[in-house]
Amino acid sequence: MSSITVANSNAKWSTDTLTTKITYENALVTKDPKNNKYHVEPFSKDYEFKVDLKAGKVGLLLVGLAGNNGSTFVAAHLANKHKVSFENKDGVVKPNYFGSVTQASTIKIGVDATGRDVYVPFNSIVPFVNPDDLVIGGWDINNANLKDACKRAKVLDVNLQDKLAEKLEEYKPMPSIYYPDFIALNQKDRANNVYNSKNNQIDLDNKWDHVTKIRNDIKEFKNKNGLDKVIVLWTANTERYSSIIEGINDTAENLINAIKNGHKEVSQSTIFAVASILENSIFINGSPQNTLVPGVVNLAEEHKSFIVGDDFKSGQTKFKSVLAQFLVDAGIRPVSIASYNHLGNNDGFNLSSHEQFRSKEISKSSVVDDIIASNQILYNDELGKKIDHTIVIKYMKAVGDSKVALDEYYSELMLGGHNRISISNVCEDSLLATPLVLDLVIVSEFLSRITYKSLDDNNANFEKLYPILGFLGYWLKAPLTRKGFQTINGLNKQKLAIENFLKLLVGIPISNELRFEERLN
């Protein structure tokens, strides 16, 4: 049960279920091209939502378990679960989940009698799964146990690694799938834990066997640990983009046939996505490649299985989606954005290969598209409809996991004036990304417990949300959306959407900053 009591008869709580009636309001806009006038027609639609309040026992399988993100995630989980404090040069550090929206942020639920905003922990609104209760496992092309993986990653303080060493050593990745054509050649020496290989020769004609292998791994993990559901999350190497080919990966049927025929454009991440969908496990793609090709989306629709993608949005890109929005909303016209990164972890090593870098470049560059499209005054046929957007990523081993990001925003002001904003940002990459893994898992699991029906149709039955969980766009650089709908990258819009949805489910009105209490007599 929620720790918040709401005086709203539309939200009804029982021991196992929350049922809420919600009126969704929006406005349909049409434009007359002849006179450039807009016609706005407000509309509303009534829904009933049902939330299963019991998450059950949840398992998480990480693809890339022995990588920086995977090993750091497990270490954070163990430190918090077992309340392991450690000492560094600044003193004693208690375990926490700083950087996680679900665990370390708050949400406004209203105002008090004097008009002051009232905030509560984000995870107090609805019953999320407790991160300490997750059962974690996964795959990796490298066989290092997580004690050795943490030492290799050089992310965590040595004192913490020593305290967790015995527990970390128990985590050993299952053999993973490895298609050399999709990952940088510099990863070859790392690949010593590969399924269905002899002398590092991979049977690429037997990709359906790989799907079966991953499905069996999911089943065995679920049965062995007595789990109610399993979530699969890709936090492994960035792959090159897959070519979208008619008759190969454009439909579910074609994709399955392409897998069975060992087609070269089926990536290992797509194998994991297909296996997850067929096992009705949520699949989350935390890397920038186009894992979720049209055939995967079609398969998810057919099986009513949830998918989430693409690419963790942790530092530079998240800031970009805020600053670009600020400039455009202020009527200032950004004309160029130059973004430079250098980092020395294995992600950077993999991205030093051009094709893998290109995947990252695409996901990072699209983050301002909807912001530009929102302002036809600043971006039009006369002035131009695009920003000159350049992205550079360089591998520098010496800096390790401390990624350096340099950005310059060059903007046009009134009467030919210009504004230049330069930003330098140094962050510990994996310690920013790991909390995103946690949030994506926790919120996607919660959304999987929601069903709804339209109250306008007396014959409507409760059904699950659409398979692409667009509510999770806040945590992703290139959020996947339903075909034909606009992708939203503006960070404030993304955060507001998930906050308002959670509040509506428990009967709290959506965010309103009119503040009539202050402004009217």
SS (H, E, C) 38-76: EEEEEEEEEEEEEEECCCCCEEEEEECCCCHHHHHHHHH
* Annotated active-site residue in 311, 347, 407, 429: 311
Say how far apart CA 408 and CA 338 lie, in whole Å. Answer: 5
Residue 90: asked if its preceding bond is cis (omega within 30°), the reply is no
Euclidean distance between CA atoms 139 and 177, whole angstroms? 9
DSSP 476: B
The partner residues of 60 in beta bridges, in order of sequence, read: 136, 231
Say how far apart CA 17 and CA 193 lie, in whole Å: 44
Block residue for tokens 């922990």: 121
Supply angle C-alpha 304, 235, 301, rounded to 5.
10
Residue 269: which residues within 8 A CB-CB, separation 6 or more? 63, 182, 234, 236, 239, 285, 287, 289, 291
Q: Active site residue: 229, 360, 364, 503, which one?
A: 360
Strand order in the sheet with 307-309: 174-175, 135-140, 58-63, 229-234, 282-285, 307-309
Q: CA 309 to CA 292: how far, in whole Å?
A: 7
In a 3-state reduction of DSSP, which class is residue 27?
Answer: strand
Residue found under tokens 């053999």: 175
Question: How far apart (Å, rounded) are the C-alpha atoms in residues 356 and 32?
Answer: 44
133 included as an active-site residue: no
Q: Coil, strand, or helix at residue 88?
A: strand
Residue 403: active-site member: yes
Tokens of 303: 């099986």
477 is catalytic: yes
Report the alpha-carbon distance of residue 308 to residue 64 in Å, rounded.
17
Bridge partners of residue 119, in order along the sequence: 108
User: What DSSP element (H or E) covers 259?
Assistant: helix 252-260
SS (HEC) of 385-420: CCCEEEEEEEECHHHCCEEEEEEEEEEECHHHCEEE
Q: How far apart are CA 200 and CA 189, in angstroms?
A: 10
Question: In angstroms, rounded to a whole number, what is the distance separating the alpha carbons of residues 397 and 190?
Answer: 16
Q: Which of 163, 318, 477, 503 is catalytic?
A: 477
**Other CB atoms closer than 10 Å to residue 383's CB: what's the count?**
12
Task: Say which of 163, 222, 403, 503 is annotated catalytic.
Answer: 403
Residue 497 tokens, joined? 């959407």
Catalytic residues, which ones?
A: 311, 360, 403, 477
